Amino acid sequence: MAENLTINKSHSTAEIYEQLLPQLEALIDPDIPVISNLSNIAAGLFNAFDKISWCGFYMKSGEVLYLGPFCGNVACTTIKIGKGVCGTSAASRETIIVEDVDKFPGHIACDAGSKSEIVVPLFSGSELFGVLDLDSYEYSSFNETDKIFLEKLVSVLINKLDFVQFKLL
Ligand code: SME
């Protein structure tokens, strides 16, 4: 497996997700480590949308989210549950869309150029595994459409991969 994903970037956000998600799902392989799968998901998302400046996973261990597979600039390595957008999403287990990061109290600026963000929690029942975080250098880059498709993607990951056995440390 070494082919590129086929995405038409001139299409709408929904159409891009509709092209992208089946291709990402086809890449998911439960027989290889979770971290390898998440790495390809981060790369696939990052390359599908010009609006994404950073895309990656933070994975939970204890009361901390640790930097996981990502694409983009170097980033904060540890985020406490309850802190920043990622930690708030992890604590509430809800997707958070931030149109202007300066208006989100406690936003953690890993990259000073980041203007908007969406964070989707990865959890099953009451167990939180981590979060998927997408950032943008433009304001209001993410909306309900992103939320719907990213939550769909995350639910596929949760169903196909063994996060219970996954150990970051
Ligand atoms: N902005 C995030 C931190 C992670 S970076 O954006 C990669 C937050 O406030 O949790």
Report pLDDT digits (tens) over 84-99.
Answer: 999 999 999 999 999 9
The answer to whether residue 110 sits within a structural domain is yes
The answer to whether residue 8 sits within a structural domain is no
Give 70's pLDDT tier (boundaries 50, 70, 90): very high
Question: Stretch 138-161: mean pLDDT, rounded?
Answer: 98
pLDDT score of 169 more than 70: no
Domain count within the chain? 1
Question: Which residue's CA is the nearest one to ligand 1's atom 6?
Answer: 110
Helix runs in 4-131, H state only? 13-27, 34-48, 84-92
The answer to whether residue 6 sits within a structural domain is no
Residues 6+ apart with CB under 8 A from 115: 100, 101, 136, 137, 138, 139, 141
pLDDT score of 166 more than 90: no
Q: What digits encode the pLDDT tens for the residues 22-35?
A: 999 999 999 999 99
The answer to whether residue 4 sits within a structural domain is no
Substitution candidate for ligand 1 out of 108, 115, 137 with most atoms within 8 A of CB: 108
pLDDT of amino acid 2: 52
The answer to whether residue 2 sits within a structural domain is no
Ligand 1 close to Cβ of residue 146 (< 6 A): no
pLDDT of amino acid 1: 55
Ligand 1 close to Cβ of residue 67 (< 6 A): no
Phi-psi region of 72 (alpha: psi -120 to 50; beta: other; left: phi over 0): left
Question: Stretch 9-24: mean pLDDT, rounded?
Answer: 96
Question: Stretch 113-118: mean pLDDT, rounded?
Answer: 97
Question: Which residue's CA is the nearest one to ligand 1's atom 3?
Answer: 108
Q: Among residues of the chain, what percentage have pLDDT more than 90? A: 91
**Average per-residue pLDDT in the chain?**
95
CATH number at residue 139: 3.30.450.40
- Report how far residue 135's alpha carbon sits from residue 31's, in angstroms, rounded to the nearest whole number: 30
The answer to whether residue 36 sits within a structural domain is yes
pLDDT score of 3 more than 90: no
Q: What digits encode the pLDDT tens for the residues 101-110?
A: 999 999 999 9
State the residue range of the domain holding 63: 13-164
pLDDT of amino acid 167: 73
Phi-psi region of 80 (alpha: psi -120 to 50; beta: other; left: phi over 0): beta
Give 131's pLDDT tier (boundaries 50, 70, 90): very high
